Amino acid sequence: MERFSHLKDVHALLDEVLLQARRLTRADAGSIYLIQNKVLDFSYIHNDTLFGASGVNRYLYANHTLPVDQHSLAGYVALTGKPLIIDDVYQLPGGTPFTFNDAFDQSSGYRTRSVLAAPLVTGNQKTVGVIEIINPLTEDRQASIFTSGDLLLLYYFADHAAAAIERAMLTQEIILRMIKMCELRDPRETGAHANRVGAYAAEVFHQWALKKGIADDDIKRDKDLLRIAAMLHDLGKVAISDLILRKPDRLDSEEFRIMQSHTIQGARLFQNQESALDVLGAEIALNHHEKWDGTGYPGKIDDIYQDQFPVGAGKQGEEIPIAARIVALADVYDALVTRRAYKSPWSETMTLNYIKDQSGKHFDPEVVEAFLAIYEVIDAIRAKYQQQDSSSRLTASL
């Protein structure tokens, strides 16, 4: 349970909660649903049979919700607050007050059998979600069923995990409110954009780190911090004049120089560096417009806290922190494929051709390689947050 207190990002926390719950019960798979806007949001999934234990997969970003009702196991548990233990979901007795939703099995080809489900209830009796553990295995990976002892373990575990999940959700909400503050100044900076860039960056980093042979624990730790820090990459725009942020035409040279300073202003917001997240947030804010070939900005600056900060020669190659190199690609990709007030979205083909062309120029070639290797996941992330972006535009137009 102590490990939960060190995780700041809700996605990293859900990953750890699910991993530990599965270890306790020897489960092959599992999922967590969080209650969002009075429905259950399919928020995290593990499945060793389908995905393996350490890779990335598009199902993490499935845009899927369930009503809080009796038409699914998770809905019933959320509705009643009662845990469930089922030997075979396809052989439910007559008169059972809930049904099994087999949509995931149908789409993936997986066969769910034994299920253990428990509500995630905080100390003040608020249900924040449901954890489902699926298909326990024996030591030689033969199919088994859950026991009453497993149910007691999961119920106890869920009781402690719920408080940590609620804290992480609060942290995420605070971050999104900060981004909404930016949105008041610059309507191009939306919560959906920040969520996409954070998720793209986290998964590209995961793939890049796996290729580098970085240890799993180090990947999880850095991925946790990177997702949050990446979401705050453009926070420095709060210091830029509305006349520049909202200008519909191309910026002149002086206006562009001022706009470039948002990187420095953003890094300054992390001046009192009390944590690894502060350090990473400053690195990304300052360097996410640097380019692999040295033609980016703001360049090498001795002291970003000076009143005057002359732009220096651009950083290049590995002088740019890896987190910033990853966010640079994530940010550009999202800008290209997203409709903005000043441009139509680029097609997928145009966007991917541009990214490939800019490998070794704008972008780190290894980062481009990692991005393309998990493009199915990138596409799932974009789809998940597309609706959120549409809602944001609709609100802005009213």
The H or E element that residue 28 is part of is: strand 27-36
How far CA 180 is from CA of 105, 168, 173, 186, in Å, comes to 38, 18, 10, 9
SS (H, E, C) 35-99: EECCEEEEEEEEEHHHHCCCCCCHHHHCCCEEECCCCCHHHHHHHHCCCEEECCHHHCCCCCCCC
Q: How many CA atoms does the CB half-sphere of 389 hold within 13 Å?
A: 21
- Would you say 151 and 353 are in contact if contact means Cβ atoms under 8 Å apart? no
Count of CB atoms situated within 10 Å of the CB of 315: 22
Contact 54, 210 (CB under 8 A): yes
Catalytically active residues are 237
Dihedral through CA 137, CA 23, CA 149, CA 67, nearest 10? -90
CA distance linking residue 268 with residue 222, whole number of Å: 22
Name, in order, each residue with C-beta under 8 angstroms of 124's C-beta and a sequence gap of 6 or more.
none
Distance CA(211)–CA(182), nearest Å, equals 35
Q: What is the DSSP letter of 313?
A: S
Element (H, E) at 147: none
Residue 74 in contact with residue 66, Cβ under 8 Å?
yes
**3 state SS for 331-351:** HHHHHHHCCECCECCCCHHHH
